Amino acid sequence: MRAYILRRLAQSVLVVWAVTTIMFFMFRVMPADPTAILLERGLTDEARQALLERWGLTGSLWDQYIAYLGNLLQGDFGASFFYRKPVWEVLFPLIVNTLWIAVPGLLLGAAIGAAIGTAVGWARRGGKLERSGIFLATVIRGVPNFVIGIALLTVFSSTLGWFPGFGMGDPGETTGFARYLTLDFLHHLTLPLVAVIIYFLPENLLLMRSGVVENRTEDYIELVRAKGVPQRRVAWHAARNSMLPLITWLFPALAETIAGIVVIEIVFSWPGVGRELVLAVTRQDYPLAQAAFFLLAVMIVLANLAADLVYGKLDPRVVYK
Amino acid sequence: MSLAELNARLAAKPAAELRVDGLSVTYNTARGPFHAVEDVGFTVPAGTNLGLVGESGCGKSTVVKALMGLLPEGTGLTGRALLDGDDILGLTDDALRDVRWNRIALITQSAMNSLDPVYSIGDQIVEAIRAHEPVGRATAWARAEEMFALVGLPAARLTEFPHMFSGGMRQRAVIAMALALNAGMLLADEPTTALDPIMQSQIMARIRGIHAHMRRSMVLVTHDIAVVAETCETTVVMYAGKVVESGPTGQVLGRPLHPYTMGLQNAFPRLPVRGAPRQPLISIPGVVPNLASPPPGCRFAGRCPFAADLCRTTPPPVAAAGPQQAACHFTDRAEEFRAAAALPETWRKMRAAA
């Protein structure tokens, strides 16, 4: 088990290094000049040259790469060209903002989806519940998530006026972590969170349903029924055995979410890391974009490792070699 | 409730009596109704074993599933199954809650797949106990340990998962589970089919030993008539969804009235006995008829070496000779048939004709 984890960690380092390298060179070959966005502010040629030197963009590509890797190993992501601040200072609050909608959204989406999926899978084959469940899940999955976002905004913000339409609200006097505990924040959080839940729900529902449908005809379900336990308990056995594929899906999804809910962040003007990533790329803000991609890669790799380990806990038949 | 109280309570359960009457099961398939079981009846007196024999596809397992209420939804079901006087046939899952495992328990056919892979075996036995008795987990676990000892498994292995057990151990675990609530009636659906011959006889010896010890009633489904001869007081022979012969085991197997029972006996290998003539192994030619469109007369007529025209047109009446009954037009010629059925030529001629 320990040898397994160590080997997987070593592999992970390799993967992250590869991603970092590819990212670095991809941004450098893009035909644009990061100082261009500052031109309108009346940058002189000397000042521009000075900036390039300060940002470490003057040496050969190879020298730049070595310097970048060296800094990265010391935990230094550099400074954002655009914000003129260390990248970490820019990214950290944005990551927190994103996690606020990503983590609860994903977990609730998975939990609600799995619960409904179990009910749909356990329902009579060809019955009303099964047919309407599959129909709704398929339709929702087919709708682009910005449409869901706009629909939520139209109904609950513009028309009914129940929830605010954009941003995270005014922190006012409260600063730091306390702002996340205000009612105002939760009020702003509701609609984007619901959008993320709806985004993840159908996938989980369908995965769970097909698992339950497959498992309900297994011999062991027949024996559980024969034992005379309540029906809910029988359905639970089928659900428990259908959860395994959901787990392998869940962890990588958590990491991919950060990038995947960009659209929802944009629709709700939610100041998250996904939205910033897109902006950083268009602004040629290499350090910021590279750092964001680096973090994404680390998260995805770790999430996959975590999924494999949790899988072993859920399915006693899994052996680590 | 303590373990001693639970044990005393469960030990006080009497053996159950089962009367099955006119049981018919019709599967509704895409190609029309399929009469898997037709007009089956038998009685298991309290504290006795009944052997239900016949070749694959004759409806034995369907009878067991009908009794446990495990048939797929929408299956046609008629007749009665009186367990100590209560009709348990065709009840809903909720209505069966108290009957299943409490009064009638099941030893499944394929123990390989009949345990949930993600729960420990101990947890699965505990689940059965706690579904019916108001006991804590610790007491239920202690009871499970006793059941494991009864089937010859070390109690420490209760914490293990099904994939860590061999086939024989899994079968024993399933038996331990079936005994956990000391139900008055046990249904054993081919409990040894998936095992190798040595394990088969070990498991059967175990079942017989437990049975003698606990005095339960049992329906033993098998295609092995040697097992029935050793274990069961009563024998019911099924063919193509119908009972062809039934009665006390000694009479049914010793002096069979139905040609199918005679053929079935020849189809099992026997160890050669010194001095006695070597028994040839004779198989019954042909296959079970398609039950979606069963033949109009006797269902065995197509494979019977003694069939007459009458057999192919008219279903045979049930003829009784004391407690022994057979559904054959010519039970009065059984003596003559038995002599002929012992000869391989009789059946070989059939095969040539077919």
Question: How is B100-169 classified by DSSP, letter by letter?
Answer: BTTTEEEE-S-TTTSS-TTS-HHHHHHHHHHHHS---HHHHHHHHHHHHHHTT--GGGGGS-GGGS-HHH
Query: Chain B closest CA to A316's CA: distance in Å?
Result: 6
Mean pLDDT, residues B137-147: 94
pLDDT band at A203 (very low <50, low <70, confident <90, very high): confident
What's the CA angle centered on A70, arms A65 and A74, to 5 degrees?
145
Distance between CA atoms of B312 and A232, rounded to whole angstroms?
50
Considering only residues A41 and A90, tell me which one the structure prediction assigns the higher pLDDT: A90
Residue B50 has pLDDT above 90, yes or no: yes
| Nearest-10 crossing angle of helices A128-142, A183-215 | 130
Domain annotation for chain B: domains and CATH numbers: 3-236 (3.40.50.300), 255-272+279-353 (no CATH)
pLDDT tens track for B302-317: 888 898 889 999 999 9
- Average pLDDT on B227-248 reads 93
Distance, in Å, from the CA atom of A210 to the CA atom of A275, rounded to the nearest integer, reads 34
Q: Which of A227, A230, A315 sits opposite B118 (nearest CB)?
A: A315
Q: Which of B94, B117, B128 comes nearest A227 by C-beta?
A: B128
Q: In chain A, what residues touch B73 (CB-CB under 8 Å)?
A: 124
Please compute the mean of the pLDDT values over residues A114-141 and round it to a whole number.
88
CB proximity under 8 Å: B 91-150 to A: 93-94, 96-102, 105-106, 108, 110, 113-120, 127-128, 131-132
Could B70 and A222 be called an inter-chain contact, meaning their C-beta atoms sit closer than 8 Å?
yes
| Ordered strands of the B324-327 beta sheet | B104-107, B185-189, B217-222, B49-53, B234-239, B242-248, B324-327, B318-321
Q: Which of A218, A227, A229 is most worth mutating to test chain B (most B CB atoms within 10 A of its CB)?
A: A227
Please give the distance of CA B162 from its chain centroid, rounded to a whole number: 24
Q: Chain B within 8 Å of A319 (Cβ-Cβ)? A: no
Mean of the per-residue pLDDT values for chain B? Answer: 88
With CB atoms and an 8 Å threshold, state whether B128 touches A229: yes
| pLDDT band at residue B248 under the 50/70/90 scheme | very high
Distance CA B149, CA A111 (A): 41
CA distance A82 to A267: 23
pLDDT at A66: 84
Q: What are phi and psi of A266, to 5 degrees?
A: -70, -45
Higher pLDDT, residue B348 or B69: B69
Whole-angstrom Cα distance, residue A252 to residue A110? 13
Element (H, E) at B52: strand B49-53
pLDDT digits (tens, 9 = 90+) for A263-314: 888 888 888 888 888 888 888 787 888 888 888 788 778 888 887 777 777 7
Based on its alpha-carbon atoms, the radius of gyration of chain A, rounded to whole angstroms, reads 24
Tell me if ipTM is over 0.90. no
Contacts of B114 in chain A (CB under 8 A): 219-220, 222-223
Q: Over the stretch A222-270, which tens digit does the pLDDT of each residue have?
A: 999 999 999 889 999 999 998 888 877 787 777 666 656 788 888 888 8
Query: What tokens does B28 get?
Result: 């509704």
- Two tokens at B63? 């009878």
Q: What is the pTM of this model?
A: 0.79
Q: Does A224 touch chain B (CB under 8 A)?
A: yes
The full DSSP string for A244-310 is HHHHHHHHHHHHHHHHHTHHHHHHTT---HHHHHHHHHHTT-HHHHHHHHHHHHHHHHHHHHHHHHH
Arithmetic mean of pLDDT over chain A:
81
Inter-chain touch A227–B101, beta carbons under 8 Å: yes
Give whole-number Cα distances, B166 to A211, A219, B195, in Å. 27, 17, 10
Nearest beta carbon to residue A229 from set B110, B119, B131:
B131
Picking from B106, B114, B123 by the largest number of A CB atoms within 10 A of its own CB, the best residue to mutate is B114
pLDDT higher than 90, residue A83: no
**pLDDT band at A41; cut points 50, 70, 90:** low
Q: The tokens of B256 are what?
A: 């069979």
Asked whether B15 and B61 are in contact (CB, 8 A), the reply is no
Residue from B344, B199, B218, B194 nearest B279 by CA:
B344
The structural architecture, per CATH, of the domain A93-314 is Orthogonal Bundle (1.10)
**How many CA atoms does the CB half-sphere of B135 hold within 13 Å?**
25
pLDDT above 80 (res B246)? yes
Please give the pLDDT value at position A89: 83
pLDDT of residue B119: 93
Candidates B98, B115, B116, B170: best to mutate against A (most CBs of A within 10 A) is B116
Any idea which residue has 């159950």 for tokens?
A: B16
DSSP H helical segments within chain A, as ranges? 2-29, 45-54, 61-73, 87-122, 128-142, 145-152, 183-215, 219-226, 231-260, 262-267, 273-282, 286-314
Question: CB-based contacts of B349: which residues, under 8 Å, 6+ apart?
Answer: B305
CA-CA distance, A272 to A99, in Å (whole number)? 8
Secondary structure element (H or E) that encloses residue B247, with its range? strand B242-248
Select the residue of A223, A228, A315 nearest B131 (Cβ to Cβ).
A228
Kindly determine whether residue A228 and residue B99, on different chains, have CB atoms separated by under 8 Å. Answer: yes
For chain B positions 40-99, those within 8 Å of chain A (CB to CB) are 68-70, 73, 93-94, 96-99
Interface mutation vs chain A, best among B118, B161, B181, B182, most A CBs within 10 Å: B118
* H or E element that contains B80: strand B76-83
Q: Is B296 left (phi over 0), alpha (psi -120 to 50) or beta?
A: alpha
Report the pLDDT averaged over residues B64-81.
Answer: 92
Integer CA distances (angstroms), B160 to A276, B122, B170, in order:
50, 8, 11
> Residue ranges of the domains in chain A?
2-73, 93-314
Distance from CA of B193 to the nearest CA of A (A): 15
Element (H, E) at B9: helix B3-11
Residues of A whose CB is below 8 A from B129:
none
B167-179 and B137-150 helices, crossing angle to 10°: 120
Q: Of B68, B69, B114, which has the smallest distance from its Cβ to A219's Cβ?
A: B114
Q: How far is residue B216's CA from residue A170's CA, in Å, rounded to a whole number?
A: 75
A73 touches chain B (CB under 8 A): no
Q: Please, which contacts does A179-187 make with residues 24 or more away whose CB atoms are closer than 8 Å?
A: A180/A100, A187/A163
Contacts of A229 in chain B (CB under 8 A): 97, 127-128, 131
Chain A residues within 8 A of B97 when measuring between CB atoms: 228-230
Q: What distance in Å separates the CA atoms of residue A16 and residue A4, rounded to the nearest whole number?
A: 18
Between chain A and chain B, the number of residue pairs with CB atoms below 8 A apart is 79
Distance CA A102, CA A110 (A): 12
Q: How far is CA A148 from the centre of its chain?
A: 18
CA-based nearest residue in chain B for residue A226: B100
Q: In the 3-class helix/strand/coil scheme, how is A120-135 assigned residue by residue?
A: HHHCCCCCHHHHHHHH
Closest alpha carbon to A228 in B338, B19, B69: B69
Contact B288, B210 (CB under 8 A): no
Q: How far apart are CA B330 and CA B244, in angstroms?
A: 13
In this complex, is the C-beta atom of A231 within 8 Å of any C-beta atom belonging to chain B? yes
Other C-beta atoms closer than 10 Å to the C-beta of B220 total 27
What does the alpha-carbon distance between residue A274 and residue A196 come to, in Å, rounded to a whole number? 13
Q: d(Cα B133, Cα B224) in Å, to the nearest integer?
A: 36
CA distances from A237 to A308, B116, B303 (A): 22, 8, 45
| Shortest distance, CA A321 to any CA of chain B (angstroms) | 17
Under 8 Å CB-to-CB from B128, ≥6 apart: which residues?
Answer: A227, A228, A229, B101, B177, B180, B181
pLDDT score recorded for residue B34: 87
Give, in order, the Cα–Cα distances in Å from B189 to each of A17, A261, B39, B65, B106: 59, 54, 20, 9, 7
B94 contacts in A (CB within 8 Å)?
Answer: 231
Chain A contact present for B18, CB below 8 A: no
